[in-house]
Amino acid sequence: MTPPLSVVANNAAPSSTNDLSERIRRLQAEAKSLAREHVHALEQAILQVERLSAEIADGGDAYPAGVRELARRLAEDCEMKVQTLEAISSRA
C-alpha cells in the first residue's frame, strides 16, 4: 500500500519558468507511471478472482449449483474485463 500523500510547502522560488515546466513534466510522467502500476495491480486482482471463480465453477457437487453458476459467469466476466483493461491501457 502506498503511503498517504501530503502537501509540502516549497518556499524556494523556482530559478526560472523552464525549471518549473520541467518539474511539472517530471511529476506528470511519474503520476502516469504510478497509474500504469495501479492498473496492472487491478488486472492481477481480477485475474485472481477469475482463477478462484473458475475453480469453484468446476468444483462439482461440493459447491451448490447456484454458486457454481455464479462463479462460472463471474469468471467469464473477469476475462472480458481484463481484456478491456489491456486494450485501453495499450492505447495510452
What pLDDT is recorded for position 13? 60
Mark out the alpha helices in the chain (DSSP H runs): 17-57, 65-91
Tens-digit pLDDT profile for residues 75-89? 999 999 999 999 999
Tens-digit pLDDT profile for residues 29-69? 999 999 999 999 999 999 999 999 999 999 999 999 999 99
Q: Is the pTM of this model over 0.85?
A: no
Q: Left if phi > 0, otherwise alpha if psi is -120 to 50, otherwise beta: which for 60?
A: left
CA distances from 4 to 1, 7, 24, 85 (A): 9, 10, 20, 26
